[in-house]
Every structure is written in structure tokens, then in C-alpha cells.
Chains A and B, each alone.
Chain A
Amino acid sequence: MTTQVKNRLNVEVNGIAIDCGTDARVLDAIRSAGFDVPTLCYDERVGPQGTCRMCLVDVEVNGQMQQVAACTAFASEEMRVETHSDSITDYRKTILEMLLSETSSPTNCPKCVSFKKCELHTAAEEYDAKWDAFPSLVVREKAKDDNPFIQRDYDYCISCFRCTNICNDWEQAGAITVEGRGQENSIATFFNNKLLESPCTFCGQCINTCPTGALTDKKIVGTTKAENLERTKSICPYCGVGCGIHLLTEDGQLKGTEPDFDSPSRGSLCVKGQFASWEFVKSDERLKYPLIKENGSFRRASWDEALNLVTERFTSIRDDSGPDSLVCWSSARTVTEANYLMQKFARIGIGTNNIDNCSRT
């Protein structure tokens, strides 16, 4: 038998024919056909775990029917996928109800209340899964950890292990691990130390991958209402990596930031981008009006007054000593457009090429 090398696979998802790459998983095929299934233990950056079983789907290959976890199973030629058969839908609902029985009430979920509906409760709503369908199990305890960054409400933990996977596999920080077995398991630092005493770098990736309200940004949680929150796509103001962030606002007030998973940084941030990219904006020490120095101390001035003084003094220095007696230093911290204007101002406003930026320092 000869085997042909094919670049694409023909797959059918819920009756829709698509083609996908030979290394595609069933989940990729489902999503590229425009469908979706809940994936509570899946983060594309660390790859499939196949433990939550929520993405189980019916597939038919060569007349053989089977159920596979869409995140782990590879797509194959002529595969037919059905994502929402009655039996699978019932099955998902049951799993969700079992997961919900391990957690505190959905109405108080910190993520749903302060940020946006979490993945667990989104799925529960979609599949009409009830919190009290099963007798409530003893929920996990909230972690007693007074770090100022990461809130750990383990009464919402469903043991998906996305946090430990992102910490150990993606960040490779090795700060948190799974402790205990079965129903007794919990997420902990080694020797149950506080996070501040662990190798945690506070990159915040555990918060951002958590599909429930078990891990949240302590600086923001409780200060916002999910239904009022608006998101503006921007870029982290720190280093030259340029990670994508969302600025969170409520009624025109800045409330915090979140990573932007659709940017090339794929949701990654470091401690600065995650926890230090917005408070300075709201600082009381921000300069709020122009200042002019008189007799050694500053006094408040109007924009007209301040800009006229700059114009007058710069013009007089230029007229007395020539344009090259003035210099403009531009900024690696502000937008490119402002830098462009600064060099144009130096060159044709003043008439000098004495324009530099802080790239050397």
C-alpha cells in the first residue's frame, strides 16, 4: 500500500466540512468550524491535559464511533465530529454539577462579580447545570496568604491544574504544586510557605489562566462590577517586549489592567505589567497643571502663559545664540507620534538637529 503525503485533512464538524492541518487536534477543527466546547483544563500555551473531560465529543472514523477528549485527540482524514449530541450534553451537565458541588455559591464567585463571568460559570449557565444538584462536598479552604497581589479563594478551585501547569511549564517558576490526592488535593506552595517566601515572581499567569474565581488580582477584586467594566486594548508601559494589555475602566475611571490574550505576547505579563501598570496613572502626585518657576519656587500657570513663555524664551535664546544653542530630548516612554513631532519641532520650529532620545541611557 502506498501512502500519500497530504498537507491537509478533510474533517466534518456538525455537518460542516472543513480542512485542517495534519497536526491539528479535534479541538482545533471544532473551533475553526465555528463551534466550541468548554475546556476547563486547557490553556493552549501549555497544551492539552485531558483531565476535565468537558471537551468530550462524539467522533466517527471509518464507520467506528467513539468519544474522545477534543483537546488531546488528533484530527484524522474523513473524521466526522459531533459536539453537542444529547448524550454528550447530558454528560457535560453532570460533570459540571459535580464540579459545582465542590465549590462555593456561584453568586459570590470573585471573578464573575468583579471581572467577567468565569469559564466554569459560563459553562454552567450554557448547560443549565445546577449548583445544588448534588450534595455539597466540603469545599476547600481559602488560602491564608497575606501577599498583596494574588487572592487565593480555593473554595472556587476545581483542581483543573491550569495554575500549576502555567507556573511550572510555561513560566518555569516552580512556585506552586498540587498537594494531596483525590478529593483531598489542593494547590499549595512547597512546604506550604506563603507565596512571598516561594519562588513566585508574581507574574500573575495563574490568575489569568484560572477558569474560576479561585485566583484573582487582589488589587482589583471587590473594587469593580463585571457588568460595568469596559476594556481598552493597549500596550504595557514598561519594557521593550511590548506585551498586550487591556485597561479596565468603570464610569471613565481607571480600575486596573489585564493581559490581552490576542496580542503576540499571548497573555503573558511580568510582575510589573500585571501589578504595576496602572496605579501610577491615578497617583495624587500626577502633575495636573502647568507650573512656572519664579524666585526659585513653582506657581500654577495657565497653558497659554506657560507655552508663551517657552516660545518667548526659546526664541530669544535662538536669536541671541543661534538655533544650535538649544537642544530637545525626546522620550522612549511616550508614543512614537510625540517623538515624531518633537524632532519636527526641533528641526523646523527651532532649526536645529540637536534632537536626541533616551535610548543611550
Chain B
Amino acid sequence: MAVMVGKGAMTNSIEELAGTDLLLVVGSNTTEAHPVISLRMKRAVKNGAKLIVIDPRKIELTKWATRHLQINIGTDIPLFNAFAHVMIKEGLYDREYVEHRTEGFDELAKHVEFYTPEYAAEICGVPAEDIIATAREYAAASGKAAICYTLGITEHSCGSHNVQSVANLGMLGGNFGKPNAGVNPLRGQNNVQGASDSGALPTDLPGYQKVERPGVREKFEKAWGADLPKRRGITKITAMDQMLRGKVKGVYIMGENTVISDPNTNHAQAALEATDFIVVQDIFMTDTAKLADVVLPAASFAESDGTFANSERRVQRVRPAIKPVGESRTDVDILLDLMKRFGVVQNLNSSSDVWDEMRQLAPIFTGITYDRLDSEGGIQWPCPTEDHPGTQFLHEDEMDSGMPGYFAPVDHIPPAEPTDSEYPLILTTGRRRSTYHTGTQTGRATGFELLVPSELAEINPFDAEQMELVDGQKVTVSSRRGSVEVPIKITDRSPHGTIFMSFAFPELTQTNRLTSDAYDFITETPEFKACAIRIDTIEASPPPTD
């Protein structure tokens, strides 16, 4: 989305969702992955808004939906192109907005001419009437229609094109830069926004200032009193490939269970094992830490001082309530110490000092101070000056990029690994409400074993009957990369031909041994949402050895 309008972040605020006229939720299992955001969606429905859910699974949110478009996995682009087709053909798009705020409309119009609702219906597996009705309703709610999406859009090999097709619709509806509207990626982890905001990206210095843009590097070189590398760096995905080829020899991993959370566990593990030296800084002996040469014990959030930035760009204070356990130290302390040993000269002693240095260098945070966060509560970036209230929604008078919004004509790209006779089912992965990510934290909360006792492979009743499976039966799920044992759960949440699993129980079921390492060629986000698998009953045939 950044290439089209400026920044990849929620354009609007969570609270605003309650006041929309129409909500289009695509690839987001909101009641389970972002339960508190789903409250605002349910409130919107109660206030009379239409809620259209686009998801291959019959997720819980569909109970509140006015329409559920149960699309085939990985067919978002034809669907969104068909919405655009209807809006343009019927003259329902926001003409004035498109004329004043965007560029590339003619190319888009020509591009989507081909994507008739009937054509899209065939690919997506939803009725053409529903596509037409959705497009008309979205257009009718122009200026007060919000789109929310999550990893169901981005975790595909065509993830960035998916996002662009969604953003196209947002611009056609005139929904950027208005309250209760926008295009809103809901961020998955507590500080995933902050991690990117702070410049922990191979292409960006703090505050999304591009490494390779003239003047940027010089500014940081002056402030830091050191030379900066000129070329952009490599992403995690590329780094793992380079580890296997012997080009990357050392890695420092802070607070991430890479082996369990990354696709194709066997590949990730082999990559790390191929390096000469691994440092892991974490709060637990994770499967990734076990591979390390040095393990540094970090303090948890309850022992740390600093900030998290949430999904709506709100910077909020995190405060220590207790001392770090044992000899553990906060991530900030450890890194300040380490940098000294590397000869970095800096006058920083606390999180507050670090924040102040960052805000001086990154205009989007300049007006946010710890004093303000303490007295006013969280503040939403961009916040350029100390008397600026923060930004509730982006792109108000112009796109945040300072340029027009560019329409991006994109085409359907099917998932990288189609099903075949050997691997006839699709595996899609995601989260459940009462477990989180790799289970390092929820796995240690008492009582949670009663909510979801173990990993479950959710399968459609029709498929279960065909394969003569009963609820709770343990099966072997295999892909071309590996196999796991898991009990099945028969539920019509899963569509025909599709299995759903999370990855929160790595001790028994390492789901990411199955997932594919295909990834989006722009963002290098892995395709967690689709890979081909097969199911074998354990008694009938022994699991294939890998």
C-alpha cells in the first residue's frame, strides 16, 4: 500500500470503525485474532452498518455479517477487480475524488474491463449477484466505508498485489482521508508497528526514511557520527537462503522464535544450522534459542521501560512493574552495553534517551515525548511538533506521500503450490483466540488447556465423511516438506477441500513443517495461507518419512 498512497499502516482509528456505514472485512478472522477490534465492528452492525465478510472460512464474524463471500483461497484479486469493474461500469465510483486525488484511473478502468462479475465468480467460487451487490453497497457508502484486512490478504505469494487491489477499491470509493473509512491493515503483534516504525527494516531508517533516498543517509551519519552502509540490506527470507549458500555466517536474533514461526521449519532450521555463529536474546529457551551459540536472557514487557506502537499508529508507554528476573536485562540495556563494546559512542542511558534521539531524527514522531505520553496517554503518529495532537486518520487533505494516489492494475496469481492427486487438500494457517503465535506465552497460562487443548486440524464435514474420519481422530498431515500428527476437528468453518491449523503447539505439532516457503516477490512475506497437503489416517498408512 505504501507505494500507492504513502504508508502501510491503518489509515484510520479503531474507534472509528463503530461509526462506519459499511465494513468490508477481508482475510481477517477479527473476533479471534483481534477480539477487541471486533467489538467495534459488532457495534457498527448494531448501529445499522452493513458488514461484508470475505473469507474462505466460515469464521465467527460471519454471524454478524450481512453477507459472507466465501471465496476460494487466494482469489482476492479477481474479486476486487470485479468490484472495481462494477463500480466503473455502472458509474458508481467517486468521480470527484478520483479526479482530484488519484492518478492512473484510465489504465485501471481498461484493466478491470476484463474482470466481469461472471468471470470473477467462476474463479472465486461466489455468485456474480453477490459480487455486484457488494460493489453497489460499497459505492453507496462512499466516504463512510471502511475496509479492514489482515494476513489473509498479505500472507500470499501475491500478497502485495492483493493489497493493491484492495487499495484500488478504497480510492474508487473515495474512502482515503475521511473519518470512519479508509483501508486498514490490522497488525498482528503488539509492537510490529513499532518495530517497523523504528527502522528495523533493510530498506528504511527510523520513521520510514529510505536508506537509498538522497540526503537521508547523510542526515543519520551526521547525527550518529559514523558512516552508514549505502546499499539496502536483505530481508529475513533472503538471509535464510544466503545462510544455506554460506554467504551469511552470523545472526543476532532478538525476541523471535524463528524456527517455529517461519514457514517450512526444516528449511529455517537448516539455514540457521549452516551459520557459524548465532546469538539469541529471548525470555525463554525457545526452539530457536536451542540452536544458538550464545543465549542472552532478556527482561519481559513487565520489566521493561519504553513504548509499543499499536495497529492504529498509537505510541503507548510500557512501564516496568518489577525488576528483571535473575540476571536478565532489558533489551535496551543489553544493546547499549553491546554497542559500547563495538565502539559506538553515544550518550544514551535509558529508554527515554533512546526515544528522544529517535524522535529528533524521525519527523513523524518528533512531537511525541514521554512527558506527553504520561500526561495525555497514547499519541498517534504522524505527530510532527509538540503542540500537534497526533493524527487520527491519514491522507486528509492529500495522500500522505504528498503525491496523488496511484491506481495499480494487478492480475490474478494463483497460490504457488496448487493441489494435485498426491496432495489434494489446501492447508491454510492462522490464529485462535485463546492461543497466541508459537504458544511461548499462552502455553504458560493456567487453564488455557481447557479452551483449546492441542493443535486441531479443522476439516469440513463432507471431506471428513469422504475420508471416513471421526471427530478427534489423530491423523498425519503431510506436505512436500514434512509431516505432523494432529487430531482432527470436524467443522463447517472449513470449506470443502481446506484444512485449517494454527501453530501454537510446537511441542506436539509443528505446523510450519508443512507450510510452503513461497513468498511475495515484493515484500517477501511468506505464503502461510495456502499450501498443498494430504491427510492419512495413522492406522491405515504410516506417516511418510521426510
Q: Kindly provide the distance from the CB of B305 to the nearest chain A CB, expressed in whole angstroms.
A: 7
Q: Kindly provide the distance from the CB of A224 to the nearest chain B CB, expressed in whole angstroms.
A: 14
- Give Cα A293 to B441, complex, Å: 25
Q: Kindly provide the distance from the CB of B263 to the nearest chain A CB, expressed in whole angstroms.
A: 7
B294 touches A254 (CB 8 A): no
Q: Given A148-B447, A240-B311, A359-B195, decide whether A335 and B378 contact each other with a Cβ distance below 8 A.
A: no
Q: Kindly provide the distance from the CB of A355 to the nearest chain B CB, expressed in whole angstroms.
A: 5
> For the complex, is A122 an interface residue (Cβ under 8 Å from B)?
no
Contact of B330 among A338, A340, A353 (CB under 8 A): A338
Contact of A293 among B33, B188, B202, B293 (CB under 8 A): B293
Q: Kindly provide the distance from the CB of B317 to the nearest chain A CB, expressed in whole angstroms.
A: 7
Chain A positions within 8 Å of B249 at CB level: 317, 321, 325-326
- Give Cα A235 to B395, complex, Å: 28
Contact with A along B295-309 (1 / 0, CB 8 A): 111101111111111
Contact of A238 among B64, B190, B354 (CB under 8 A): B190
Contact of A286 among B37, B194, B283, B525 (CB under 8 A): B283
Interface residues of B in 319-335 (CB under 8 A from A): 319-323, 325-332, 334-335
A252 touches B323 (CB 8 A): yes
Q: Given A327-B252, A329-B254, A352-B229, decide whether A287 and B444 contact each other with a Cβ distance below 8 A.
A: no
> For the complex, is A16 an interface residue (Cβ under 8 Å from B)?
no
> For the complex, is B140 an interface residue (Cβ under 8 Å from A)?
no
User: Nearest chain-A residue to B293 (Cβ)?
Assistant: A293
A240 touches B34 (CB 8 A): yes
Chain A positions within 8 Å of B525 at CB level: 360-361
- Give Cα A262 to B375, complex, Å: 12
A239 touches B34 (CB 8 A): yes
Q: List 23 A-B contacts (CB under 8 A).
A: A235-B190, A240-B193, A241-B14, A264-B14, A271-B433, A285-B285, A286-B284, A289-B327, A307-B334, A325-B247, A327-B234, A330-B254, A332-B190, A333-B190, A335-B332, A338-B332, A340-B355, A340-B357, A346-B233, A347-B205, A355-B199, A355-B201, A360-B235
Chain B positions within 8 Å of A202 at CB level: 434, 451
A287 touches B284 (CB 8 A): yes
- Give Cα A139 to B531, complex, Å: 58
Chain A positions within 8 Å of B321 at CB level: 230, 232, 234, 247-249, 254
Chain A positions within 8 Å of B198 at CB level: 330, 336-337, 339-340, 343
Q: Given A326-B248, A329-B251, A358-B256, decide whether A242 and B434 contact each other with a Cβ distance below 8 A.
A: no
> For the complex, is A280 an interface residue (Cβ under 8 Å from B)?
yes
A360 touches B442 (CB 8 A): no
Chain B positions within 8 Å of A283 at CB level: 284, 444
Q: Given A170-B39, A235-B318, decide whether A264 and B378 contact each other with a Cβ distance below 8 A.
A: yes
Q: Kindly provide the distance from the CB of B354 to the nearest chain A CB, expressed in whole angstroms.
A: 4
Contact residues of B with A, CB < 8 Å? 14-15, 33-37, 39, 42-43, 46, 64, 186-203, 205-206, 211, 220, 224, 226-229, 231-237, 239, 247-256, 258, 261-263, 276-277, 279, 282-285, 289, 292-298, 300-312, 314-323, 325-332, 334-339, 341-344, 351, 354-355, 357-358, 377-378, 433-434, 436, 440-442, 444-448, 450-451, 519, 523-526, 528
Contact residues of A with B, CB < 8 Å? 147-149, 169-172, 196, 201-203, 219, 230, 232-244, 247-249, 252-254, 262-265, 268-273, 275-283, 285-293, 298, 301, 303, 306-311, 313-315, 317, 321, 323-361
Q: Given A232-B320, A283-B444, decide whether A330 and B282 contact each other with a Cβ distance below 8 A.
A: no
B441 touches A276 (CB 8 A): yes
- Give Cα A281 to B323, complex, Å: 11
The count of A-to-B residue pairs whose CB atoms sit within 8 angstroms is 462
Q: Given A342-B254, A345-B342, A349-B344, decide whether A264 and B232 contact each other with a Cβ distance below 8 A.
A: no
Chain A positions within 8 Å of B320 at CB level: 232
- A276-B434, A334-B301 known; 19 other A-B pairs, CB under 8 Å? A232-B321, A235-B190, A237-B441, A242-B308, A242-B312, A242-B378, A287-B289, A293-B292, A293-B294, A307-B334, A308-B341, A324-B248, A326-B249, A334-B306, A336-B306, A358-B261, A360-B525, A361-B258, A361-B262
A339 touches B200 (CB 8 A): yes
Q: Given A263-B377, A298-B295, A341-B336, decide whether A239 and B206 contact each other with a Cβ distance below 8 A.
A: no
Chain B positions within 8 Å of A169 at CB level: 46
B14 touches A338 (CB 8 A): no
Q: Kindly provide the distance from the CB of A360 to the nearest chain B CB, expressed in whole angstroms.
A: 5
A253 touches B444 (CB 8 A): no
A344 touches B189 (CB 8 A): no
- Give Cα A265 to B200, complex, Å: 27
Q: Given A335-B307, A347-B228, decide whether A311 and B338 contact each other with a Cβ distance below 8 A.
A: yes
B282 touches A335 (CB 8 A): no
- Give Cα A345 to B229, complex, Å: 12
Closest 5 pairs (CB-CB, A-B) = A288-B326, A335-B306, A242-B310, A331-B255, A353-B233
